[in-house]
Chains A and B, each alone.
Chain A
Amino acid sequence: MTSILKNRLFWPAAILVVLLVINMFTSRQFVTVQDGHLFGTLIDILRNSAPLILVGLGMTLVISTGGIDLSVGSVMAISAAVACLLIQDLDDQNSVGPVLLIIGIAIVVSMLMGLWNGALVAIIGIQPIIATLILMVAGRGIAQLITDGQIINVQSGPYATIASGFFAALPVALLIAVAATVLILLLTRRTALGLLLESVGGSPTASRLAGIGARRITIMVYVVAGGLAGLAGLIYSANIKSADSISAGNLIELDAILAVVIGGTALVGGRFSIAGTVLGAVLIQTLAVTVVAVGIPSEANLLFKAVVVVALCLFQSPTLREKVFGRLTPRTARAEVPA
């Protein structure tokens, strides 16, 4: 029992379950079948979590190397702007081939943005928070330049599908997020890559001396984070069939960092948890839906979210648990070294 309580993911999972139960009562359709696919509050939550999961995954990898990427929101905006601008110019916006090609182009552009970040951090040696701050500020400007400060509308069926479509009764956006999660889990846990990431996060110098290409790995995680942010930006814009370069991904870097932290990844680098981040991202999205569903007034939204997050962090803190529950547990149990 105590070992379950000590698991870092126990409390986020518990709070997520509580929130979902609340939503089961407030919503008329929690999960049902409509028009041949799943529909309801749970599906809305999972579908809308997709961009945050994708951004969170990239953020987890970056943070595991001891870095941070503040530019993800701006990269989302750029990717959405590039895609919508190109799709708008298509003769037939509903032809699948060109739209897929454009999606590919937008992701490559996003990866180049990541490459820029990685180069600043790993080759020039700028602090990650400063290096990515440059693109965070400049990137949104670039996106606005691309869209000329306007919201660009597209009427492309295939493009809308990546956010609102369904495949095998499941939302496509969710499937994309799951696929990315599985791919990254396999790469980091079934190959040596995860170990290398943790090693670089623990000590870049020691890793380099041990023969690990720390520089190459650092650049790679920023490129991956850029690509995932770009994909998230495409889903965000496909969801509203338009590129809104001012609000796309605005402040998402903070939600992503929060998801990573809730998931138990150390901000100083080293240890990381992919599953934890996904759980954190879904929790944050569920919280946003719950606020609306239970009818909390707009002025109290942020306060409500803050209370939940603070409570969660307090529960997760070993020091606080020791102080509160420490006296209740027998001495022998306390002597156990937590893994």
Chain B
Amino acid sequence: MRRNYAAAVLGGLMLVSSLAGCGGGDSGSESGSDDKLVLGFSQVGAESGWRTANTKSIQESAKAAGIELKFSDAQGKQENQISAIRSFITQKVDVIAFSPVVVSGWDAVLKEAKDAGIPVILTDRAVDAQDTSLYESFIGSDFVEEGKKAGEWLAKEYEGKTEPVNIVELQGTTGSAPALDRQKGFADAIASNPNLKIVKSQTGDFKRADGKTVMETFLQSTPDIDVLYAHNDDMGLGAIEAIEAAGKKPGTDIKIITVDAVKDGMTALADGKINYIVECSPLLGPQLMELAKKVDAGETVEKRVLTKETTFTQEQAKTELPNRQY
């Protein structure tokens, strides 16, 4: 027993010293590589295929741009993200970038970064900090614009028709920025045509299974659904299962519009089960690296940078599908 104890202590000491060794090595390499830009990036987690593609894009484009990337995964927790940013500050990285898990509660740690003179770039999701000087730029999709593109397509599709169109909406996670904005943009875009009416709107939490169960209930409680608008592909894919189980044809009996354009969604679009997809691209790595270099060089950058995105019809999906990486 005593020997075990001694061994444990010895093991622990070795571990601590090796950790210390790591730390020392880090600071050493940093002073040695002053010419190489060091970017600390804190990712939300790996909650979806979209996010995995986002991570890959950032890692690959950092390598291509010759930027040293310190990558940290927050596992969907804000406290992990805050401690990751703190550790980036102590490591004295050149630029910090992160995708905030939630919108609020960032003022303190952003202030610390500012005091340390490290510029911060937000990616994909925004924060609600009062003081916008706390970050240099926000690069990501415009979710309102995405909702608007979806609504505009629908308005055009039913242009000149007089009979009422019943729309059901599958919202994303309640209170999340993409859900709120995609709802708003869509509602604004169809407001001009009084025939287009959202008859039911409920959260499907961005998940396939929830998309399916909510759609089942929509189908039971709402007569004559003409259009489904889902805030992401996954909920739309779940809803397709429910529509087929109810003996209807997705894409024909019920028109389906979704947002994201991940591979599975594009496949369904090419198969004619979805009618229109608005892209929300995760591949913002190259734009982020460009931005980081500019910020590090002290150049002024746009406060809001939009990701390059497009939309897909069924025909476009067929040609694009083979190139989809995610």
Which of A's residues lie within 8 Å of B, judged by CB? 26-29, 34-35, 39-41, 44, 48, 144, 149-151, 153, 164, 236, 239-242, 244, 246-248, 288-289, 291-293, 295, 297-299, 301
Interface stretch (choices B3-11, B13-21, B44-52): B44-52
Which of A34, A44, A246 is close to B216, meaning CB atoms less than 8 Å apart?
Answer: A44
Q: Which of B48, B171, B220 has the most CB of A within 10 A?
A: B220
Known pairs A239-B241, A244-B209, A298-B174; list 5 more (Cβ under 8 Å): A246-B47, A288-B213, A299-B174, A299-B175, A301-B203
A247 touching B207 by the CB < 8 A rule?
yes
B217 touching A292 by the CB < 8 A rule?
yes
A164 touching B52 by the CB < 8 A rule?
no
B223 to chain A minimum Cβ distance, whole angstroms, is 6
A240 touching B52 by the CB < 8 A rule?
no
CB 8 Å contact bits of B246-275 with A (1 = contact, 0 = none): 110000000000000000100000000000
Number of A-B contacts (CB under 8 A): 88
A161 to chain B minimum Cβ distance, whole angstroms, is 12
Q: Which residues of B contact A41 (CB under 8 A)?
A: 217, 220-221
A151 touching B47 by the CB < 8 A rule?
no
Q: Which residues of B contact A149 (CB under 8 A)?
A: 46, 49, 52
A29 touching B238 by the CB < 8 A rule?
no
Q: Which of A26, A241, A292, A297 has the most CB of B within 10 A?
A: A292
B217 touching A240 by the CB < 8 A rule?
no
A164 touching B221 by the CB < 8 A rule?
no
CB of B212 closer than 8 Å to a CB of A: yes
B175 touching A153 by the CB < 8 A rule?
no
B213 touching A164 by the CB < 8 A rule?
no
Nearest CB to that of A140 among chain B residues? Answer: B75
Which of B's residues lie within 8 Å of A, judged by CB? 46-49, 52, 171, 174-175, 200-203, 205, 207-210, 212-214, 216-218, 220-221, 223, 234, 237-238, 241, 245-247, 264
B310 to chain A minimum Cβ distance, whole angstroms, is 23
Nearest CB to that of B46 among chain A residues? Answer: A149
B241 touching A27 by the CB < 8 A rule?
no
Given contacts A164-B241, A288-B213, A295-B200, contact A28 B207 (CB under 8 A): no
Q: Which residues of B contact A292 (CB under 8 A)?
A: 200, 202, 214, 217-218, 221
Complex CA–CA separation, A27 to B48 (angstroms): 33
Complex CA–CA separation, A131 to B97 (angstroms): 37
A-B complex: 4 closest residue pairs judged by Cβ atoms = A298-B203, A292-B217, A27-B220, A240-B208
Which of B49, B208, B220 is close to A28, meaning CB atoms less than 8 Å apart?
Answer: B220
Q: Which residues of B contact A144 (CB under 8 A)?
A: 46
B49 touching A151 by the CB < 8 A rule?
yes
A255 to chain B minimum Cβ distance, whole angstroms, is 13
Q: Which of B48, B208, B246 has the most CB of A within 10 A?
A: B208
Q: Which residues of A contact B203 (CB under 8 A)?
A: 298, 301
Nearest CB to that of A293 among chain B residues? Answer: B221
Q: Which residues of B contact A247 (CB under 8 A)?
A: 205, 207-210
A240 touching B218 by the CB < 8 A rule?
no
Given contacts A164-B241, A289-B213, A299-B175, contact A244 B208 (CB under 8 A): yes
Complex CA–CA separation, A39 to B246 (angstroms): 8
A190 to chain B minimum Cβ distance, whole angstroms, is 35
A296 to chain B minimum Cβ distance, whole angstroms, is 8
Q: Which residues of B contact A34 (CB under 8 A)?
A: 247
Q: Which residues of A contact B202 (CB under 8 A)?
A: 291-292, 295, 298
B201 touching A298 by the CB < 8 A rule?
yes
Q: Which residues of B contact A240 (CB under 8 A)?
A: 208-209, 212, 237-238, 241
Complex CA–CA separation, A289 to B237 (angstroms): 19
Nearest CB to that of A296 among chain B residues? Answer: B202
17 contacts between A and B (CB under 8 A): A26-B220, A28-B220, A44-B213, A44-B217, A149-B49, A150-B49, A151-B208, A239-B209, A240-B212, A240-B238, A247-B205, A289-B213, A292-B214, A292-B221, A298-B171, A298-B202, A301-B203
Nearest CB to that of A39 among chain B residues? Answer: B246
Q: Which residues of B contact A153 (CB under 8 A)?
A: 264
Nearest CB to that of B209 among chain A residues? Answer: A240
B48 touching A246 by the CB < 8 A rule?
yes
Nearest CB to that of B242 among chain A residues? Answer: A44
Q: Which residues of A contact B234 (CB under 8 A)?
A: 151, 244
Q: Which residues of A contact B238 (CB under 8 A)?
A: 240
B214 to chain A minimum Cβ distance, whole angstroms, is 5
Complex CA–CA separation, A188 to B58 (angstroms): 55
A144 to chain B minimum Cβ distance, whole angstroms, is 7
Nearest CB to that of B207 among chain A residues? Answer: A247
A36 to chain B minimum Cβ distance, whole angstroms, is 11
Q: Which of B174, B218, B223 has the most CB of A within 10 A?
A: B174
Complex CA–CA separation, A295 to B218 (angstroms): 9
Q: Which residues of A contact B207 (CB under 8 A)?
A: 244, 247
Q: Which residues of A contact B52 (CB under 8 A)?
A: 149-150
A34 to chain B minimum Cβ distance, whole angstroms, is 6
Q: Which residues of A contact B171 (CB under 8 A)?
A: 298
Complex CA–CA separation, A247 to B49 (angstroms): 12
Complex CA–CA separation, A57 to B324 (angstroms): 43
B174 touching A151 by the CB < 8 A rule?
no
A300 to chain B minimum Cβ distance, whole angstroms, is 9
B53 to chain A minimum Cβ distance, whole angstroms, is 10
A254 to chain B minimum Cβ distance, whole angstroms, is 15
B221 touching A242 by the CB < 8 A rule?
no
B220 touching A44 by the CB < 8 A rule?
yes
Complex CA–CA separation, A238 to B220 (angstroms): 22
B209 touching A236 by the CB < 8 A rule?
yes
Nearest CB to that of B47 among chain A residues? Answer: A246
B241 touching A241 by the CB < 8 A rule?
yes
Complex CA–CA separation, A92 to B77 (angstroms): 41
A239 touching B212 by the CB < 8 A rule?
yes
Q: Which residues of B contact A241 (CB under 8 A)?
A: 241
Complex CA–CA separation, A293 to B199 (angstroms): 12
Complex CA–CA separation, A240 to B247 (angstroms): 16
A12 to chain B minimum Cβ distance, whole angstroms, is 21
Q: Which residues of B contact A297 (CB under 8 A)?
A: 201
